[in-house]
Structure 1
């Protein structure tokens, strides 16, 4: 009887093996067709990402999942990965030689040759940290404060960040709302890693810091792009933005003031976006690292009513401390707790 069971199990496993192999052969065929589509788009100067086509695909897959009793979550995850693969194939250059990190490396190479370079590719202030920061850093090291700390960041710093946010935006904040991170970039990553999963969609307003899309894609997310324009003063239209919301959109990434355009999203836009996203349970990640450099009225996402908003900032621009790598996230305590768990994976 045992041998018969093993024999039956072996047959079933062989069927699974054949089906799995067929799936990968179909993926290969799909990639081949995607490449042809990429060539056509390039010749006709068409954008690689077609949101309407993607939305139609997601609707079709949802119907199949419902009909065939497949987890919709699984279906969305697989389709999201397939769409990202198609985009990568059509770009035909996943890591562009024109990426901002490549440009920075080239600029520094030229500088080492003694040639003058004006840096427009990276937000490096032309001032350094305050003297008090330098003095206190040396004092802390002399006092032996060089050991591991709690993953969320040392309590005095979290308290000070909370006090600053509360006084600036007149909204109650305490240390449990704050997560200290290794620079603003990791705050973005921790928020993404906490709030989205493979197959989810992240809406990004372009032009934008390339890291937003890169980090989201590294976690298996699908990027939906909203392109702002010079003619519209780089300001998105709220109705057009909302039209991009589908069931897969789980996060919107804002950068206000924007790098590289300098545009600032108005209070009306921030409040409308917050309201519309809140209705749908969508997180808003707002990178406000340049807010201290705003020369006109600025509205933080933290001033709106959305329990799923995440404010990201750092001391890099405001205090000229780029090399110190001190960033922070401010959000609802439940989100920060999750972010803290993400942070543990890297701190120790």
Structure 2
């Protein structure tokens, strides 16, 4: 067999799925596992969305669509973004993608040539760095600091920019930290982006899962359309992870290239899923807000639980359904600690280094699970830490 391409060595596998596989194997061996590893809502997709999908299937909407998605959904997304961001967005500036991951992949491919640099505040979702490397770009990470609530320093972002910088990728609300970027920090990012003619790729997939009465601050509302690519989707807010549907908002010439990438890889999103997504945007939104309310209650619970564990400390996540406790006081690498908790305590979670080297000393815990599971998992962790580290 011929040798595989060297670029494949740069394309990494998302750690959550590796840990999930390990956990499932332990379950097959008869061990009970508490799952905190996967960032997947544990709520069903709202019924009116499912009914819309059924209706589309009954009507025979099962064929190919345009690579950029059906016009009706692009129009609905444009209307939603225009209203929520206060910026006029046209359907031709919208591409419906096969999940938000396709949006990340296609957007970076659209801009990067080999050797181009991408500034990435980290720890963050690993696909940004992985795709950058895969296409020959150079990721330049800037550490997100706990004392700042995991919002990036505009000054540090600016100092990371060079003549080779082509893009800055931001994720707010953020995975894995649960942090929300401040308006001032986003403004500082755009100050350098406009001055140096750099695109800001803003992943806002968790925009609705935000707590304490706070409102999402979108990059598109602060920056300008010519320097912004906005990523979003249906997986998190509407509990539609398996439906695989996202969106990219970009200037028309960029949107055309994103659609071209999708055409040459996945052809188009599933047609009946797109009709269901129209129903998601049109509402009702009651189920979304019920989910967010429950996530906030779980956030409060896990905040109390984590901070009661010796050697653990955590700031209260402002958004998402992730806790990101600091475990550096235990004096063990986060990857080793995560393995020990899985194999010895029966708790599956992720080391902070799954989200970049800057995540060392942290763990990521998904609280997209029941309060009962949270209590059970936290007790196992507490008992384990007291036994091994007291």
Q: What TM-score, normalized to structure 1?
A: 0.70
Q: Structure 2: how far apart are the matches of 1:345 and 1:308?
A: 25
Q: Who is 1:299 aligned against?
A: 217
Q: Structure 2: how far apart are the matches of 1:305 and 1:115?
A: 50
Q: Is the 8 A contact 2:150 2:181 kept in 1?
A: no
How far did 1:128 drift?
Answer: 1.7
How far did 1:300 drift?
Answer: 0.4
Q: Structure 1: how far apart are the matches of 2:14 and 2:243?
A: 27
Relative contact order: is structure 1 or structure 2 higher (C-alpha 8 Å, sep ≥ 6)?
Answer: 2
- Give me the CA root mean square deviation: 2.2
Q: Who is 1:309 aligned against?
A: 228
Pairing 1:343–2:262 present: yes
Q: Structure 2: how far apart are the matches of 1:111 and 1:324?
A: 26
Equivalenced residue count is: 259
Q: Who is 1:235 aligned against?
A: 151
Q: 1:98 to 1:256 in 2, by over 3 A?
A: closer
Which structure: greater helix fraction? 1
Deviation sequence 1:257-295 (CA, Å, 0-9, x none): 011111111111112211211111111111101111012
How far did 1:208 drift?
Answer: 0.7
Q: Structure 1: how far apart are the matches of 2:236 and 2:33?
A: 20
Q: Structure 1: how far apart are the matches of 2:166 and 2:112?
A: 7
Q: Is the 8 A contact 1:100 1:210 kept in 2?
A: no
Q: Structure 1: how far apart are the matches of 2:230 and 2:184?
A: 18
Q: Structure 2: how far apart are the matches of 1:111 and 1:268?
A: 47
Structure 2: which 5+ runs fail to align? 1-5, 268-390
Q: Structure 1: how far apart are the matches of 2:56 and 2:258?
A: 27
Q: Structure 2: how far apart are the matches of 1:96 and 1:130?
A: 33
Q: Structure 2: how far apart are the matches of 1:143 and 1:288?
A: 33
Pairing 1:279–2:195 present: yes
1:293 match: secondary structure: coil
Q: Is the 8 A contact 2:169 2:201 kept in 1?
A: yes
Deviation sequence 1:187-209 (CA, Å, 0-9, x none): 00010010111111111111111
Q: Is the 8 A contact 1:266 1:298 kept in 2?
A: no
1:292 match: secondary structure: coil
Q: Is the 8 A contact 2:98 2:266 kept in 1?
A: no
Structure 1: which 5+ runs fail to align? 1-83
Q: Who is 1:55 aligned against?
A: none
Q: Who is 1:175 aligned against?
A: 91
Q: Structure 1: how far apart are the matches of 2:253 and 2:264?
A: 18
Q: Who is 2:106 aligned against?
A: 190
Q: Is the 8 A contact 1:183 1:325 kept in 2?
A: yes
Single out whichever of 203-212 and 115-124 deviates more from structure 2.
115-124
Q: What TM-score, normalized to structure 2?
A: 0.63
